[in-house]
Structure 1
Amino acid sequence: MKHDLAKHFDYHIWANRQVFERLKSLPEDLFKTEIKSVFPSVSAVIIHMCVTDSLWLDIITGGGYEETKALAVRRNEELKEANIEKLIAFFEDTAAKYQAFLEGLDNLDLPLAVEHPALGRRETTVAELMNHVINHGTYHRGNISAMLRQMGYSSVPTDYAYYLWK
């Protein structure tokens, strides 16, 4: 299980890097261009992805939901004007923390109780929440791809098969 999850998290990192490289190759103003879509801008999606990854890491490593949510609100505020380079640095820092956490963990099926204000209490595991983080990234990379198309640009392939054949 640990091997598979670590590999899937490596895919998450790889796929986000693919998107970041594509965004850096596009006109700089496109990143914050407001459009009518799922998010108001590509920048807003990236900020959401980065902050949410950090939020779940805080929860997985023992932070309470309410205190972690407050920290996420502060991070969101700090990043709202960030350029792509600053967001990449934030993502890379969070990814390194995840990797260090995973390397130091012997049992990914450790029980974890999470109290969510809207969803209630859930008995889960580190593995289940890691799968959520990976799936969440896939979902939002799809949003970015659609938004880029809406603005007349292509995205990059980030399907898992592309990762396997890289």
Structure 2
Amino acid sequence: MKHYFKDLYNYHHATNQAIVKLLMDYQHLVTERSLGLISHSINAHQIWNARINGTQPFGVFETHSLENISKFDTANYHSTIEIIDSTNLEKVIEYNNSKGEPFSNAVADILFHISNHHSHHRGQLISDLKSSGIPSIVTDYIFYKRKPIAL
């Protein structure tokens, strides 16, 4: 299972970095909504990592520069790979959500949630980019498996 999660997070990192590069190339067309979507996706990933690691989380809706989004995505990626390598994925962690409500979930379930959350918001982002006249890139997992995106 650890190999599977590492593969998923390699995909998300490569795809996020390719999207950030696209956004940088078309900065003049990037909307506030698009910047907010990718920032939120990166923030949520960092928040979940922080819950697992017991570190300080970002705010859910903080907006970042494209340069920082790229850096934060890379930091998230490395943190998640470390979690996968060093944690029993069936371990249940307790945490509070953004409203302060207590919950507990297995690390594997959290990792799947983060992956799914990236995919959900990536779809919204690609739709936004098309509406703004920015040419889209293929971000489907199966296309990544056929030919990984080079970083």
TM-score normalized with structure 2 length: 0.84
| Structure 2 equivalent of residue 129 of structure 1 | 110
1:115-163 CA-to-partner distances (Å, cap 9, x unmatched) read 3366954432000000011111111111111101111222111111111
SS at match of 2:59: helix
1:89-119 CA-to-partner distances (Å, cap 9, x unmatched) read 12112211222222222x2111223333669
Bigger CA radius of gyration = 1
Q: Number of matched residues? A: 147
> Where does structure 1 differ by over 6 angstroms across 4 or more consecutive aligned residues?
none
Equivalent residue in structure 2 for 1:57, among 49, 63, 67: 49
Rate the CA distance shift 1:113–1:165 in 2: closer, same or farther, 3 A.
same
Q: Is the 8 A contact 1:108 1:126 kept in 2?
A: yes
| Structure 2 equivalent of residue 30 of structure 1 | 29
**Cα distance in 2, alignment partners of residues 90 and 15 from structure 1:** 14
Q: Which amino acid aligns with 2:7?
A: K
**Cα distance in 2, alignment partners of residues 22 and 131 from structure 1:** 26
Q: Is the 8 A contact 1:18 1:158 kept in 2?
A: no
TM-score normalized with structure 1 length: 0.77
**Cα distance in 1, alignment partners of residues 100 and 47 from structure 2:** 16
Q: Is the 8 A contact 2:46 2:58 kept in 1?
A: yes
* RMSD (CA atoms): 2.3
Matched, 1:85 2:67: yes
Q: Is the 8 A contact 1:145 1:154 kept in 2?
A: no
| Structure 1 equivalent of residue 83 of structure 2 | 101
SS at match of 1:152: coil
The alignment-based identity, stated in percent, is 23
